Structures are given as structure tokens and as C-alpha cells.
């Protein structure tokens, strides 16, 4: 029994459309679950945009002024931190490991990370001093996303445990 050429092409077209829909659904689900808008702040622990969404216009303006003041310094410190990570990675992946070079690279990494965290703390502290107590709680609860809020289905899961 021979299948016609158009029938084979129709089956391939339907299969291709099905795969495209499945791929789009997967990407859409990942985007929805992990919220692509805040992906830039994934390395840091505070989501400024989510926190600002809890404020009124005048308060947003004041908080943005604090962030904008610190922005150039913060960018430089984050850039230094990324560069320190790259240098440590290069040191650890070198053919011949140099213990002193690795230790120095690690010390620079720790120092640059502390600089980033100090800057972030300064920004957050200035923001906290500016806001009234009732708004402060909502602001920081939205800014510091909880693991359970993002991954509620894994809340009680113990990784590595087996049910044997």
C-alpha cells in the first residue's frame, strides 16, 4: 500500500505544527513561571521593580532618586564582581594551578562581592529610612521574593531523599 506524496507532506506538516506548538507552550510556561521581566536581577536578592510596584507615585520618585544616585557606583561594583569571577574561573581552569594566584583571585572575588552587597545595603537602608513603617513592610516583602512564593510546589520537597 503506497501513500500519496500529498498525504506524507500533510502528516509532516501536522507533526511540525504540533512540535512548534509544544515548543511555544514550553517557552511560555517557563516565561510565566520564572517571570522574564525580572531576570536581570536574578543574581541579586532584591527585585526593585516588584518593590516599587507597591508604592505611590511620589514615593516611587524618591526611591528612584536614591537608586539613580547610586547607579553608576553600583554598576562599576557589579562589573568588578563579574570580572573577578571571570579571573577566578580562568585561574581555576588553567593547565597549571597556581595556589597563590587562585587565592588572590578568590580574595578579590570576595572583596568585590562585599562591595556590591554594601552598596545594595546602603540603597536599601536609605529607602527604608524614607518610607513610613506601613509601606516599608510591603515594599521589602515584594522586593525580597521568598523561595516559597516562587517555587511553592517544591516547598516541602527534600532534595536527595529517596522514598525507598
Q: What residue spans define the domains of the chain?
A: 1-34, 41-147
Predicted pLDDT of residue 1: 52
Predicted confidence at residue 40, as pLDDT, reads 47
Interval 43-48 mean pLDDT: 71
Can you tell me the distance from the alpha carbon of 125 to that of 67, in angstroms, rounded to the nearest whole number?
Answer: 11
- How big is the CA angle at 38 (ends 32 and 41), to the nearest 5 degrees? 140
CATH code of the region 41-147 = 1.20.120.1490
In this prediction, residue 44 carries a pLDDT of 54
Mean pLDDT value across residues 32-48: 60
The pLDDT value recorded for residue 101 is 92
- pLDDT higher than 90, residue 50: no
For the stretch 106-162, pLDDT in tens is 999 999 999 999 999 999 999 999 999 889 988 888 888 765 555 544 444 454 544
The torsion angles phi and psi of 38, rounded to 5 degrees, stand at: -100, 20
Model confidence at 2, pLDDT cuts 50, 70, 90, reads: low
What pLDDT score was predicted for residue 155?
A: 46
pLDDT in tens, 54-76: 899 999 999 999 999 999 999 99
- How far is Cα 23 from Cα 133, in angstroms, rounded to an integer? 46
Amino acid at each position: 500500500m503506497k501513500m500519496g506524496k500529498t498525504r506524507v507532506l500533510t502528516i509532516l506538516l501536522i507533526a511540525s505544527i504540533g512540535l512548534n506548538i509544544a515548543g511555544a507552550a514550553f517557552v511560555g510556561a517557563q516565561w510565566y513561571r520564572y517571570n522574564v521581566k525580572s531576570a536581570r536581577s536574578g543574581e541579586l536578592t532584591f527585585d526593585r521593580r516588584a518593590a516599587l510596584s507597591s508604592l505611590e507615585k511620589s514615593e516611587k520618585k524618591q526611591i528612584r532618586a536614591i537608586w539613580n544616585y547610586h547607579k553608576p557606583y553600583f554598576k562599576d561594583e557589579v562589573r568588578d564582581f563579574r570580572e573577578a569571577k571571570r579571573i577566578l574561573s580562568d585561574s581555576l581552569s588553567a593547565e597549571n594551578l597556581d595556589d597563590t594566584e587562585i587565592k588572590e583571585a578568590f580574595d578579590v572575588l570576595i572583596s568585590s562581592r562585599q562591595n556590591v552587597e554594601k552598596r545594595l545595603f546602603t540603597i536599601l537602608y536609605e529607602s527604608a529610612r524614607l518610607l513610613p513603617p506601613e509601606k516599608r513592610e510591603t515594599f521589602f516583602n515584594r522586593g525580597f521574593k521568598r523561595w516559597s512564593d516562587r517555587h511553592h510546589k517544591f516547598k516541602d520537597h527534600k532534595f536527595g531523599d529517596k522514598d525507598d
